[in-house]
Chains A and B, each alone.
Chain A
Amino acid sequence: NAGVTQTPKFQVLKTGQSMTLQCAQDMNHEYMSWYRQDPGMGLRLIHYSVGAGITDQGEVPNGYNVSRSTTEDFPLRLLSAAPSQTSVYFCASSRGLAGYEQFFGPGTRLTVL
Chain B
Amino acid sequence: KQEVTQIPAALSVPEGENLVLNCSFTDSAIYNLQWFRQDPGKGLTSLLLIQSSQREQTSGRLNASLDKSSGRSTLYIAASQPGDSATYLCAVIGIQGAQKLVFGQGTRLTINP
Contact = CB atoms under 8 A, between A and B. Distances in A.
Interface in A78-101: 90, 92, 97-101
B100 interface: yes
B101 interface: yes
From DSSP, what is the main secondary structure of chain B's interface residues? Answer: strand
Interface of B: 31-32, 34, 36, 41-46, 49, 51, 89, 91, 93, 95, 98-101, 103-106
A50 B46 contact: no
B31 A58 contact: no
A107 interface: yes
B98 A59 contact: yes
A99 B32 contact: yes
What 7 pairs across the A-B complex have the smallest Cβ distances?
A98-B31, A104-B44, A45-B100, A106-B43, A43-B103, A101-B49, A104-B43
